[in-house]
Structure 1
Amino acid sequence: MCLKAILSLYSTIELFVNRLDSVESVLPYEYTVFDFCSENTMKRPSENLGQVLFGERIEPSPYKFEFKKPAVCQKVCTKSYDINSPADKAKLDFLKKGMLLNYQHHWIVDNMPVTWCYDVEDGQKFCNPGFPIGCYVTEGGRAKDACVVNSNFNEKDAFYIFNHVDITIHYHIVEHEQLGARLVAAKIEPKSYENLNDDSPDCSGGPKFLKNKHTGPFKIPYTYSVNFVEDKNIRWASRWDYILESMPHTNIQWFSIMNSLVIVLFLSGMVAMIMLRTLHKDIARYNQMDSVEDAQEEFGWKLVHGDVFRPPRKGMLLSVFLGSGTQIFIMTFVTLFFACLGFLSPANRGALMTCAVVLWVLLGTPAGYVAARLYKSFGGEKWKTNVLLTALLCPGVVFADFFVMNLILWGEGSSAAMPFGTLVAILALWFCISVPLTFIGAYFGFKKAGIEHPVRTNQIPRQIPEQSFYTKPFPGIIMGGILPFGCIFIQLFFILNSIWSHQMYYMFGFLFLVFIILVITCSEATILLCYFHLCAEDYHWQWRSFLTSGFTAVYFLHYPVLWIYHDHVISDEPLPLNLVCMLLYTVTVKS
């Protein structure tokens, strides 16, 4: 898909098109679904697994031009429609629906997104890696979306079509190369022209619009102009910077992110201080006892020393969850680490998802080992069931959800639907690589000697006294998930904004730092609450410690609900009817 690193004076620059998406709809569509000008050849650039999972559909376009050869109002094609024809009417209705929902083109030149740059408030410039296919003016004369940029879009109840694009390609001459250059930026400006002669357009006349209740034939001529500008200030290695620096989340709330990190570090230190001082006080009190009789008067957490290592209820399920959690934790850590080093930048399309999937598949061994080791320490003997559940339970739930969502996307004709071959490839990776590796890890986990407990477990379980409100299971779990969620909600806002606003997320350094702080905060909060429960003579700590930090996921699930509610309800926009679909799509496909 990329051009050669160095362009000659006679190189042909190819423009590729990607799927079209919208912030007002969860469903992306392929370029050809909208009946735009398309290339006759069916040869498409190869896509990696991550691109397919993200729903990218890159294909060649008829927009081709010679390097350093400007063109003015070049015709691409003319699309003709007859309202009386059901097929043509359906195409126009779908095109109008796309303009009404503000669907965006995504074009690619030399693996660079073609950006639409325009001025925003405070004199800043925003470069969007996409541009609209058109816009709509309501019956009341209110211009929606991109129609506000042109005062000539004043026809009521009409769809204005951006059928012309002005493309500006920035390049710089390569040093020590007489006839060589490198592309450093590609910018576009969408326009609309009526064109007095559709068969021979000259990019003149007023804007091209389609009345909502139009009857009779209708033609749309598509044209383009291209210009080349030499830019000595942008280096090829930093050619993505002008896009990333203009993103909204790069120049706002940097102080808020740092403030959040400082608060989380303070809270983590406070939790650690309370835990260490309280534990140190109990140990010092125990060491200062003078007589044997005083030592026999046990108190606090010492009262449950004979029950603290009692196997938990549903120990099989707990060990399976811990094994799968280990697999996901290592996958997340390694993926974010590589992303911080720059290996998984937005320039490497699909690399982030590909890396995550491959790592998850290869990390079946630690999942099986941890699950088997813990299950053996619980005294379990059904090792075959343990291994099968570790390899199939959590991945099976995610795949079933993913498959149901994929059926919905298939039914809607969306490009986000996975091809059948990709589903087969995912199943092959799961059953042919991940499952055997899980069995190998479980073999070593069961083969190793069990964990020796420092105290003996009483034969008769101790009776648990009446618990106070904050030490009961449900309130304690709810409170335990608040602190870890507090350190991720700002970063989660940027992630959701990148997903639903179709922007590029690249702040992996901050994300990795937040992830580390999240792990530390989860550990400290769990240990602190577990200590309080043991002091209250409640020795059922295994499930409690797992669910205390695990309840952060419940807050994580509710946060997108509030985010979408704020974005669509408070902002005077209608709440999408497919809200549940959007949330499931966020949790399964996009996460």
Structure 2
Amino acid sequence: MKTCCLPNMCQSALLDSVESVLPYEYTAFDFCSEKTMKRPSENLGQVLFGERIEPSPYKFEFKKPVVCQKVCTRTYDTNNPSDKAKLDFLKKGMLLNYQHHWIVDNMPVTWCYDVEDGQKFCNPGFPIGCYVTEAGRPKDACVVNSNFNEKDAFYIFNHVDITIYYHIVEHEQLGARLVAAKIEPKSYDNPNNDSPCTGGPKFLKNKHTGVFNIPYTYSINFVEDKNIRWASRWDYILESMPHTNIQWFSIMNSLVIVLFLSGMVAMIMLRTLHKDIARYNQMDSVEDAQEEFGWKLVHGDVFRPPRKGMLLSVFLGSGTQIFIMTFVTLFFACLGFLSPANRGALMTCAVVLWVLLGTPAGYVAARLYKSFGGEKWKTNVLLTAFLCPGVVFADFFVMNLILWGEGSSAAMPFGTLVAILALWFCISVPLTFIGAYFGFKKAGIEHPVRTNQIPRQIPEQSFYTKPFPGIVMGGILPFGCIFIQLFFILNSIWSHQMYYMFGFLFLVFIILVITCSEATILLCYFHLCAEDYHWQWRSFLTSGFTAVYFLVYAIHYFFSKLQITGLASTILYFGYTMIMALIFFLFTGTIGFFACFWFVTKIYSVVKVD
């Protein structure tokens, strides 16, 4: 492995908060900035997540400690409207507990502090300041210092103590590697410029008027650590997040559900269904055939084209595209290619794969639409290429307008927006047309039984075999497999926690596929036995209803776990949640449909039909 020399400066990524969905660039808060160096370029995933990396003025040289080095001083005059606006924005950032995110040698600079049970939590971010209420109650980081006791005041962390941990690599030219970078934010009033790191904490009264100065300083210390290897330097951050035991509980919970469903399906396939098929195949006389009941009675209608077959085929094409994209992305993540160290790689991989998978989407949609007896092939291919992606893009564009209006770093630049549209129209759409061409060119799917000309009348259904109750019940078990994993995913997105357990996620993905398939097959069999042959839409909606439970859980998560305030942040949360719910709906619905399609084809292909 090639040795990495230590860098001579920090880099600052976005600033975010658990109380606001809006991230901001480092320069938005008028901190000390480095104007002589060019900002490093970001990949597509970083742009989508709003990660704008800025060069930092906090510079150092290896093994040369720095003590209270002054960076700059910011002066604000509340009588000046521009200065007052900057100061108010800084106060707003402290009130909402916005966090710095610094990077050294692609490692997050962490703020480590003690939590309950004597454990230490290392947060890849540290606050810009904190607030003490009018009642004297400290909020957020103000609780760590008893000297923060001024009422209705903002305390500014204008000094940082940075500790760089390294180890020496023998027999190599560049002999030092950074293995950890930790920071401790502090606040100094700095009454004298000659000794800047002195005095009590620096605070700003909420109703302050006149001139206010904020000097920014830093100290750097170097510590050799021979116990941490460079390849495992992220472990101290990840191990401070006690998720592993809960993840195993999630896996065991999901496996129990899968085993239960597998047992039910096996019982149907090996006992009930096997006996049915054996009895039906032994019928030689017409009198025996007239005694048929259950699912055999609907053999002449089970492959009847569904209503709204155009829309169903379009949904299945888009769902296939999303399924393959998710599988390949998670597979690469399991191999370590999309780890947190490769910033933005996960989103970049997902977007590129989605663009390149237009061909399977067009092929599946066209093939199924043709098997449904559809003839409007132009409409089908256009809807496949534009309907679901268009809904997602429209939602995303509205959210982007809100981010533009709020001045957030998560707002996608106009040039990047044009590039996304170019990927969609110039690559994904043509590939969808190519897939649709081959799909329509092939013969329709041959069914094992013929379809009667006159539809059979469906008898009165019991409550449990009616469409809506079955669909609602069908999504419960798949959601039960994923809701614990879903909690950690939502935490990583909205609470800005690091997600790294892609092995667990891939295993839960496989369990979800199995659970959706088995639950849909189980309910499909019950409905066919009740002589209801409308299985196509029902199979799609049965497993797709898991997305409704996902949406309900996301609403519960918003009100019970998050501290988000403000109309813009609320709209952004639910806007992006709707995108995720739509994608999840297409993904799970497609799994259910194809599982049920395989099941129905298999059971009717082994039955003798006169």
Normalised TM-score (structure 2): 0.87
Q: C-alpha offsets along residues 510-555 of structure 1, whole Å, 9 cap, x if unaligned?
A: 1111111111111111111111111111111111111110111111
Are 1:418 and 2:412 matched, yes or no? yes
The answer (yes or no) to whether the contact 1:198–1:219 under 8 Å persists in 2 is: no
Cα offset, 1:447, TM superposition: 0.9
Pick which of 78-87 and 345-354 moved more.
78-87
Compute the RMSD of aligned alpha carbons.
6.6
Provide the rounded CA distance (Å) in 2 between the counterparts of 1:590 and 1:454: 9
> What displacement does 1:420 show?
0.4
What are the Cα deviations for residues 129-181 of structure 1, in whole angstroms up to 9, with x where unaligned? 00000001111111110001001111111100000000000001112136620
| Deviation of the 1:557 alpha carbon | 1.1
Does the CA-based 8 Å contact 1:309-1:457 persist in structure 2? Answer: yes
The Cα shift of 1:276 comes to: 4.2
Alpha-carbon distance in 2 for matches of 1:340, 1:330: 15
Contact between 1:261 and 1:514, CA under 8 Å: does it hold in 2? no
- The residue that corresponds to 2:12 in the other structure is 4
Distance of 2:520 and 2:476 partners within structure 1: 12
Between the aligned partners of 1:336 and 1:589, the Cα distance in structure 2 is: 43
Q: Deviations over 1:18-41 (max 9, x none)?
A: xxx000011111111101001113
Change (3 A) 1:257 1:584: farther
Greater shift, 259-268 or 152-161, is seen at 259-268
Distance in 1 separating the partners of 2:211 and 2:466: 72
Contact 2:48/2:412 (8 A) holds in 1: yes
Deviations 1:307-334 (A, max 9, x none): 1111111111111100000000000000
2:57 partner SS: strand
Comparing 279-288 with 476-485, which one deviates more in the overlay?
279-288
Answer whether contact 1:265 1:517 (CA < 8 A) is retained: no
Alpha-carbon deviation of 1:292? 4.3
1:347-371 Cα deviation digits (max 9, x unpaired): 0000000000000000001111101
Q: Which deviates further from its counterpart, 187-196 or 177-186?
A: 177-186
CA distance 1:232–1:90, shift in 2 (3 Å): same
Deviations 1:62-117 (A, max 9, x none): 11111110000000000011111111111111111110100000000001100000
Give the conservation status (yes or no) of the 8 Å contact 1:160–1:207.
Answer: yes
Query: d(CA) in 2 for partners of 1:545 and 1:583?
Result: 16
Note closer, same or farther for the CA distance 1:86–1:108 as it changes in structure 2 (3 Å cut): same
Partners of 2:253 and 2:481 within 8 A in 1: no
List runs of 5+ in structure 1 lacking aligned partners: 8-20, 566-581
Alignment of 1:153 with 2:152, yes or no, is no
- Structure 1's 552 and 276: CA in aligned 2 closer, same or farther, altered over 3 A? farther
Shift of 1:229: 0.5
Contact 1:6 1:181 in 2 (8 A): no
Number of the residue aligned with 1:13: none
Change (3 A) 1:537 1:270: closer
SS in 2 for 1:428: helix
Shift of 1:563: 1.1
Question: Could you tell me how far 1:251 is from its partner in structure 2?
Answer: 5.8
Aligned pairs for 1:159-174 within 5 A? 159-174=154-169
Q: How far has the Cα of 1:558 moved from its partner?
A: 1.1
1:489–1:152 CA distance, 2 compared to 1 (3 A) = same
Please tell me whether the aligned partners of residues 327 and 366 of structure 1 are also in contact (alpha carbons under 8 angstroms): yes
Per the TM alignment, residue 286 of structure 1 is displaced from its structure 2 partner at its CA by 2.6
Matched position secondary structure for 1:267: helix
Q: Quick one: structure 1 residues 334 and 486, their matched pair in 2 at CA, closer, same or farther if it must change by over 3 Å?
A: same
Matched, 1:564 2:583: no
How far 1:288 moved relative to its partner? Answer: 5.2
Is 1:112 the counterpart of 2:107 in the alignment? yes
Give the SS at the match of 2:608: helix
| Shift in alpha-carbon separation, 1:465–1:584, aligned structure 2, 3 A | closer
Q: Secondary structure at the match of 2:60?
A: strand
Check whether the contact 1:112–1:185 (CA below 8 A) recurs between aligned residues. yes
Q: Does the 8 Å contact 1:264/1:486 carry over to 2?
A: no
What displacement does 1:259 show?
3.6
Q: CA deviation at 1:295?
A: 2.8
User: The residue matched to 1:3 in structure 2 has which SS?
Assistant: strand
- Indicate conservation of the 8 Å contact 1:402/1:589, yes or no: no
Given candidates 103, 107, 130, the residue that maps to 2:98 is 103
Matched-pair contact (CA < 8 Å) for 1:327–1:367: yes
Contact 1:78 1:199 in 2 (8 A): no
How much does 1:289 deviate?
Answer: 4.7
Indicate conservation of the 8 Å contact 2:147/2:201, yes or no: yes
Relative to structure 1, is the Cα distance of residues 166 and 299 closer, same or farther in structure 2, using a 3 angstrom cutoff? same
Q: Structure 1 residues 328, 469: CA separation in 2 closer, same or farther (over 3 Å shift)?
A: same
Tell whether the 8 Å contact from 2:299 to 2:604 is kept in structure 1 after alignment: no
User: Equivalent residue of 2:10, what SS?
Assistant: coil
Alpha-carbon spacing, 1:558–1:374, altered in 2? closer, same or farther (3 Å): same
Cα pair 2:10 2:103 within 8 Å, conserved: no
Query: CA 1:267–1:249 in 2, change beyond 3 Å: closer, same or farther?
Result: same
- Measured against aligned partners, the alpha-carbon deviations of 1:37-66 in whole angstroms (never above 9, x if no partner) come to 011136210100010011101010111111
When structure 1 is superposed on structure 2, of 252-261 and 463-472 the one drifting more is 252-261
* Offset at residue 257 of structure 1 (A): 4.2
User: Alignment partner of 1:80: what SS?
Assistant: strand
Take 1:586 and 1:463, find their aligned partners in 2: how far apart are those partners?
23
Is 1:134 aligned to 2:113, yes or no? no
Contact residue 561 and residue 583 of structure 1 kept, 8 A = no
Secondary structure of 1:225's aligned partner: strand
- Paired residue for 1:399, among 390, 393, 409? 393
Q: CA deviation at 1:230?
A: 0.5
Provide the rounded CA distance (Å) in 2 between the counterparts of 1:282 and 1:375: 32
Distance 2:195 2:154 in 1: 23
Which stretch shifts more, 410-419 or 253-262?
Answer: 253-262
The percentage of aligned residue pairs carrying the same residue is 93
Counterpart secondary structure, 1:488 = helix
CA contact (8 A) 1:76 1:223 kept: yes
- Structure 2: which 5+ runs fail to align? 1-8, 560-600
**Which stretch shows the higher mean deviation, 218-227 or 286-295?**
286-295
SS of the equivalent of 2:72 reads strand
